[in-house]
Amino acid sequence: MGQIVVIGGGAAGMMAAGAAGQMGARVLLLEKNASLGKKLLITGKGRCNLTNACSIQEVVARFGTGGRFLYSALHSFPPAVTQRFFAERGLDLVVERGQRVFPASGEARDVIRILRTYLETAGVLIKYNATVQEILVHYDGNGDRSLAKVTGVRLENGEEIPADRVILATGGASYPKTGSTGDGYRMAERLGHGIEPIFPALVPLKVREQWVKDASGLNLRNVRASIYGGERLLGSEFGEMLITHFGVSGPIILTLSRLVSPCLRSGEELRLLIDLKPALDEKRLDDRIQRDFVLYQRKTIKNALSDLLPKKLIPVVIDEAGIEPDRAVHQIKREERFRLGMVIKALPLTIVDTLPLAAAIVTAGGVSLDEVDPRTMASRLVGGLFFGGEVLNLAADTGGFNLQAAFATGYVAGIHAASSD
């Protein structure tokens, strides 16, 4: 067998190269940066949420309609195997809220160290500062594109590197400073692969309302955020979120953000409703407000809600409820109190955009899954071409699921690239 070239030194690329090398293949890993795993270094706020301690079915469910594509890869390399892979190589792991798995050290660089050692022991050669411009192919049968076969790659500097297997693991187009600049989409499309439109996933949202500037930096815990398109509920998440100067961010917002870009592109108006007290139904919330009103009956309404709401949100909620902030509590009418409760249960925001793709944690869209064999990650269009990781049309919410998919698809691509004829 000739040489296997892996394009991209991220999670999928390193796993693919190591797996192929362990199979005895001659492997060259091409990385456009001066070091491996630059995007891994910033995942999980620098702690690297490397997988989730859940079942295969739960991982599949997190990827929506594309999740079924992952069944075979996840059976070959499930979350339990990912944990064992790192643990057996000396990395202590911890499982935190939401079954998120992190290195016990809290350092993403320790994950990269384990993967780099894996490459060394597998005999993988690494070429840094090597930007691939094109995957080279040969067309048999008088140029019949249906009989394309990989022959190598051409670098940006014009150098051609021969290969009879190429694994494309360039990542998406988010965080371009880490090297994820969408190169893989262009290379795959040039070879005839369809590219599903890319858009930012796991990304903060911009809103129309200006009060967020005054409330910027406010962290809200144990709230429920729901996104509506008209009267249609698109999605709802419970947990933690952050108010920013441009809108909203934080774990539950990032999870919901996957729903936003496609709707905005179609011109749909989206509302975000925040339930600030999801543990209380309307009746119990009203009882609670009445108790506070009795306790603070001599105060103005703007000074009577400090036990119930964060200070930065008090003027916002009062304004949304249409109540004068300097009104005395004992002057507040029953209807006004009900309006106050309704706003607390559904504080409205209007979503106008997401932050750009460069700010997204994950890119949604990518190489069409219909054109890739899910058992091997091999292209159905080009012989000797394999895929791994985010370059594929796969995107999940936060919790280690995207990295789990990268490791699993990378492993499968490496094994089958090394064992195929």
Mean pLDDT per 10-residue run, the chain (421 residues)?
Answer: 92 98 97 93 90 97 94 98 98 95 96 97 97 92 71 97 97 70 92 92 94 97 96 94 97 90 86 97 96 92 94 96 94 95 97 89 91 98 96 92 97 95 66
How many CB atoms neighbour CB 157 within 10 A?
A: 9
Whether the CB-CB separation of 170 and 212 falls below 8 Å is answered with no
Q: Which of 396, 415, 414, 412 is nearest to 52 (CA)?
A: 396
Please give the Cα distance from 59 to 62 (Å, whole number): 5
Give the residue extent of every domain in the chain: 3-198+358-419, 204-354
Q: 154 forms bridges with which residues in the sheet?
A: 134, 160
Q: Which two tokens stand for residue 189?
A: 């499309």
Tell me whether the CATH fold assigned to 3-198+358-419 matches the one assigned to 204-354.
Answer: no
The CATH code that applies to domain 204-354 is 1.10.8.50
How many CB atoms neighbour CB 131 within 10 A?
A: 15
As to burial, measured by CB atoms within 10 angstroms (0-12 exposed, 13-18 middle, 19+ buried), residue 374 is: middle
Please give the Cα distance from 366 to 351 (Å, whole number): 25
Asked if the 3-198+358-419 domain carries CATH number 3.50.50.60, the reply is yes
pTM score, whole prediction: 0.86
**Predicted local confidence at residue 201, as pLDDT:** 82
Q: Which of 385, 421, 409, 412 is nearest to 190 (CA)?
A: 385
SS (H, E, C) 178-212: HCCCCHHHHHHHHCCCCEEEEEEECCCEEECCCHH
- Tokens 């630059």 -> residue: 38
Phi, psi of 146 (to 5 degrees): -75, -10
**Predicted local confidence at residue 230, as pLDDT:** 87
**Predicted local confidence at residue 333, as pLDDT:** 93
